[in-house]
Every structure is written in structure tokens, then in C-alpha cells.
Structure 1
Amino acid sequence: MKTSVTMLLLVFLFCISCSSADVINDTEPPESGIYFPPFGSSTWEARSLSDLGWNNNELQPLLDYLEDQNTKSFMILHDGKIVVEAYMNGHDANKLWYWASAGKTLTTALSGIAQEEGLIDINTKVSDYLGTGWTSASLEKENLITCKHLLSMNSGLDDSTNGVEPEDLEYMADAGTRWAYHNVYKKMQDVLAEASNSTFKNYFNTKLRDKIGMTSTKGGWLQLNDFNVYWSDTRSMARFGLLIYANGKWNSEQIIPEAFLNEATNTSQDINKSYGYLWWLNGKSSFHLPGSQLKFSGALVPNAPDDMFAALGKNDQKIYVVPSKKLVVIRMGEAADSETFALSSFDNDLWEMINELID
């Protein structure tokens, strides 16, 4: 049965207790009056569509479209407050779902924290932390690869396999000269574990999860096909998106350094202008996609605001952050159409409908 506006209103009441050029995401920072939901409570303040001057008539068509596109959950935050929260296709607020590659940005956040603590320097070569031989490249070529290359997806290692064992990580080009979407970024998690003298999971829990109230009793890093994949409820994903929207600050505590986060959400290299440190960037003049060396002209998501940046995961897991509109948008679920690794046609279609709602 289609998600109804009546159901959404019940959720609402419950919650109350430039151009296509290579623009930089340097819009005015969010106002200081951002709302941060409390820890350990189901209470999360809300705002109504009418209060924001949005088009109520476009809400139900949006929800119907989302349900038809295999969505499990969908949220829109405005300055931290919930405007839309909907669950469908057998999902609910207490169920978990995987972030897939949208969770890459959690590694980015931890990298910024570790650098601020003096544990790492992303401009340092990876072998300084992991030792030599972590790839099958020659020592000369391996030593060209820095932590920044892992975060920027331009390590130069062969992307034809998903594995991250030394035998999988073969030299293809000098670091910095070739962009390719690759699981090698996961070696950054090993760097963080070594540098923090802990495990990646423990470092994540202490430095990020627990500081913003992401659920600790449900979800977490689960091992799937030799890789850690993050699972959570929808509101935990929304909390992380809110942290990013607030320039890395939660209430009065600066958790992710603002300067690092600004680097992470702007072009990180000259090849794929629409990629930062594991974040996808809109409003640039061109982009590359996973599994291809082709260069595509235009913005990543033409219907979305130019300053939008996003965490994109397999089968259309989404965190969209739009500073100019004061929005964080979350989508979890099955693939909207066919299986994808990051961007899909769903992004642009969804933003067309979001624009009808918010404009």
C-alpha cells in the first residue's frame, strides 16, 4: 500500500515530543541555529512543509515514486529538523540497512580526525604506516602512493579486481595520474588502525559514532565478502549527514576539522573534477564514473543544486548535502532500477521531484 500523507503526519507529530562550471562549495556556512537531536531519545524536532513554504501537493507523488523505486526509507532535514520521514516496502524506523559505498565517507571523516590528532598526515606515503609490500607494485612505484591518493581514488593501482590483498593491487600507472573507483580506499582503514594503535571499528566508535549519537545497540560494521560494510537505521545516517552539513561540528564540539572537510568536499585531483575525498561533487564541468576511464561533460546531477555533494552507495544508498538549501537528504533501499555502484539515473529523476516539493 502506498505511503500516505496521513501516515507521514503521524510521524511528524511523533517527532515533535555559478552554473555548471567548476564551482567550489564555498557557499555561506549554515546558520548557527542548526538543530541537533539529543542522544538516546526518539525525539527529533520537525518542521512542516507549510512553515517552509514548500508545495504540499507534491509530497504524495514524491513518496509514491520512492516506493515504486524500491525505497526503504527517505528523510529530508532542513537545518537539522525533520521535514519528511517515510518508511516503505516493509521497512521501519527500527530496521537496519546497509550504507554500501556511501559509508566510504565515514573513512574520510575518521581520516580528518586522525590528522587533526597528529596520528597521520594524508600527504605521507601509505607504506610509512603499513610497511612496504602492501601492493604488488615495485617499491619505487608503491612509495609514490600517499594516503591522499587513497582518499582521492587516484592511487594508480589496477581497478579490475575488488580485492585489496597485495596480489590484487597491481601497478597500472603512477599515483596521481589515473583516477579509478577502487576498493583500495579500504587500506586507509588499516592506516587508521595502525596509527591509532586500535582497531578501525573502535576508533570509529569512540571518535565519531558515540559523539553524534548514532545508534550503538543496532548496526555497525559487518563483514561482507572480506570487507567492512556499515549498517544502521535511517536516523543514524541522517545524523552523520547533519554533522557534515554543520561543517563537522556537533553542538559546540568540532568533531571533524572544518578545513579538512572543506578539502574533502571539493575537487581532490585534476582528473575527475566531481570527486573529493570519497565524496561525489555536483556543479563541476565533467565527471568520471566507476569502471570507466571515459570523461563525461556536465554536472554529475543536473537537476540538483550546484553546491550539492553526496555520499553514494551501491543500489542507490544516498546522503545528499546541500548547504545553499540547508538540506540533508537520505535515501536507503534496493536499487531503484538496475544495480549500480554509485551514480544512477535515479539521482537526477529524484532531484526533479524534490525540486517540485521545495520550490
Structure 2
Amino acid sequence: MKNRIFYILLALLPFQSLSQSTYFPPIVGNNWDSISPQSLNWCQNRIDSFYVFLDTNNTKAFILLKDGKIVLEKYFGTYTQNSSWYWASAGKTITAFMIGIAQQENHLSISDTTSKYLSQGWTNCTPAQEEKITIKNQLSMTSGLDDAVPDPSCTLDTCLTYKADAGNRWAYHNGPYTVLDGVIESATGSTLNAYTTQKLKNPTGISGIFLKIDYNNVFFSTARSMAKFGLLISSKGNWNGNQIMKDTTYFNQMTQPSQPFNDAYGYFWWLNGTATYMLPQTQFIFNGPINPNAPADMIAALGKNGQFINVAPSKGLVWVRMGETPDGLSVPTILNDQIWQHINEMECHLSIKENHLDKAEINIFPNPV
């Protein structure tokens, strides 16, 4: 109950990102204003140590924004500002945003049964079981479909089998998520890429594309486009005065606990500041916030191998990380928290705390993909 009160109060706060201090980069071109880390009292030697940490953990790109302006931007190896990389499951948050836009334009309602758009028989359930699955169930990972199938990314009807009635169980499951692409296309009459370009990319200058890889639709973009999406979310769907996401009710639902089982999960966004959380591939409930070093209001898009978008409105911070699997880390949430620990220790007057995470702690949780 305390968690839900926290997120309700958070939703009632003014749009911080609409303040005069928030900067938005131009829609066209590659210009992006920056501020020096020293203006935040950040020490260069700690930034250098942070970059070593990122490099050691197989990072390709890292960008940190303060009130929309670039504070840190670093690329590693052959990766450059113009290189594209996959978002993995962090791209689910684009799908959540596009579902909200489709509802805003009256193409669908998230309370609609999914069969309305995919037709009956898109799962291997009985008609009565299938009819209970709504778009909201897919957004909140409560479809009730069995996530323990041999390939949880499979979208064939034979892979989408009954486990529980929709709305009665939280389980991280790629297959039911991916078929939301078909829901968007059926409801809008546009392809996923065309609809995303028209409604998201064109108004913001975000670039990128969904590509079909096996069963999955995977979003690829530059790190700067990833950061732009984070900035859009930090401004509650507003881009430099253009309110792209006008459905504030949906936006708040997307970034608050979406079901009663996993308090740390919205509509594909991971939520910090909760008393408990669940992770993929397990029904275990863990105590504490998912990232104890992050601000309580932080929300994150988390993808396989450490593709991250972090948004912390109370701090005016947005940061993104792209890269490979971190050495010795099977859990991106741990790396995400370690990055926050480094950010918290950037100020020159602070003493640096030791990182007490050991390998046993690191390897205990599954990988959110």
C-alpha cells in the first residue's frame, strides 16, 4: 500500500521537465547543448575511474543528461556517436509508449481483449481462457500464459499455453509482449515502424528501427536517440512544449505499479523505491528496492546484456548505457545499481564507498531480457 501511495503522489507532482531549465536538443541535426561536470562539482578523477569501470564491463556507449543537457558522453572501442546498437528488452518501453498513443487516438483501449485485434486462436488456450487476456495484461506481464515453455520468445500459438487465468499471475514473458506489435498494426492500419516514425520519431528527432530477429522485433538506434527517448519520458511525454503523450492517465499507469504481484513493474518499465520486487524466470519476491543506490523515483528500461535507460525526475537526470554482457555479471540490475553508485560518488567532497557486492550475490538472480 505504501508503494502505491508513493507513486500516486509522484504522479500528482508538476511536470518538472516543463520547467524553464529543461533543455531539448533540436529535432533536426546533431547539435546538443552540454554542461561541464565541474559545474555539478564532479571530480575529473572520479569520472575517469567511472569510465574505466564502464570499459571493464564491456560498455559501448554511455550518456548522462542533467535537465536535458549532456554532462557525460563516452564511447568505447570502435563504437561512435553514429553507431547503432540493439535495445533488447529496453525497447519494450517504446512499444508501451506506442500502445498509449494508439489508445489516445482511439484506435484501441487497453481494456480490450487481445483477440479483438489478433483474432481468436492466437494462443493455444481454450476460447474462454483466451478471451480473458487483455492488452493491459500483456503490458503488465499478467497474461497468464506459461513462461516455462522451451522458448519463451516464441509467438506461435502452440507456444502460448495456459498457466493461469489472465490477471492472476505476474511472469516475465517475451512471447505475449511481442504479439503486441501485431495489435498495434491491426488497430492502426500501419506497420509498427511506420506508426513509430510518424508518432514518436518525427516529433522528437529520435532515429532507429525495429528489426525482426527470430521471433522478436528488436529496436536499434544510436545512444543519443536512446537518451532522447529517456528525456521524453522524464518530461512525461512532452517534447519542448509539444505534448506527444496527451493521455496522462495512461502515462501514469505506465510508470506506476501495474498489478498487485510485482510492485516494481509498470507497463514494461521497472520501478525503484518499492518495498519488494520480482525478477524474470522466478516467482520469488525479493525485499527492498530493485536498485538501492538509485533515487526512489527512478524508473528504468532494462534489456539483455545491459541495455539501460534510467530516468530520475527528482534529480533531473537521464542516463543510458549500451554494451555487451558485463564480465562476471549475470544480472543487469546489479550493473545498473553499480552505475548509480558511481554517479552518487562523483561529487568532489564525498568519500568513495567500497563496492561490497560479491560473486555469490551477483549470480543469484536471473537475467531480465
Paired letter, 1:171: Y
Question: 1:142-163 deviations in whole A, cap 9, x for unaligned?
Answer: 1111100000001000112320
In 2: Cα distance, 1:179 partner to 1:294 partner: 11
**1:271: how far off?**
0.3
**1:23: how far off?**
2.6
Matched with 1:6 is none
**Mapping of 1:262-277 within 5 angstroms?**
262-277=252-267
Matched with 2:70 is 82
Q: Does the CA-based 8 Å contact 1:315-1:339 persist in structure 2?
A: no
**Mapping of 1:184-263 within 5 angstroms?**
184-215=176-207, 219-257=208-246, 258-263=248-253
Question: Any idea what SS the aligned residue of 1:349 has?
Answer: helix
Matched with 1:157 is 145
**Alignment match of 1:119 (pick from 107, 110, 113):** 107
**Alignment match of 1:181 (pick from 168, 172, 176):** 172
In 2: Cα distance, 1:337 partner to 1:295 partner: 26
Percent of residue pairs bearing the same amino acid type: 43
Unaligned runs of 5+ in 2: 351-369
**1:53: how far off?**
3.0
Matched with 1:99 is 87
**1:21: how far off?**
8.6
Higher mean Cα deviation, 303-312 or 204-213? 204-213
Question: Any idea what SS the aligned residue of 1:83 has?
Answer: strand
Matched with 1:3 is none
In 2: Cα distance, 1:349 partner to 1:52 partner: 20
Higher mean Cα deviation, 192-201 or 100-109? 192-201
Unaligned runs of 5+ in 1: 1-18
Question: Any idea what SS the aligned residue of 2:179 has?
Answer: helix
Paired letter, 1:112: G
Superposition TM-score, scaled by structure 1 size = 0.90
Alignment length (residue pairs): 337
Higher mean Cα deviation, 26-35 or 316-325? 26-35
In 1: Cα distance, 2:57 partner to 2:36 partner: 25
Question: 1:265-311 deviations in whole A, cap 9, x for unaligned?
Answer: 00000000000000000000111111111111110001111100000
**Alignment match of 1:344 (pick from 313, 319, 333):** 333
Distance 1:338 1:185, change over 3 A: farther
Question: Any idea what SS the aligned residue of 1:205 has?
Answer: helix
Paired letter, 1:233: T
Paired letter, 2:201: R
1:147 aligns with 2:143: no
Q: Does the CA-based 8 Å contact 1:22-1:284 persist in structure 2?
A: no
Higher mean Cα deviation, 86-95 or 304-313? 86-95
In 2: Cα distance, 1:294 partner to 1:226 partner: 27
**1:32: how far off?**
2.0
**1:250: how far off?**
0.8
In 1: Cα distance, 2:3 partner to 2:258 partner: 18
Superposition TM-score, scaled by structure 2 size = 0.88
Question: 1:10-65 deviations in whole A, cap 9, x for unaligned?
Answer: xxxxxxxxx98973144553142221111221210011122233344421111111
Moved over 6 A (4+): 19-22
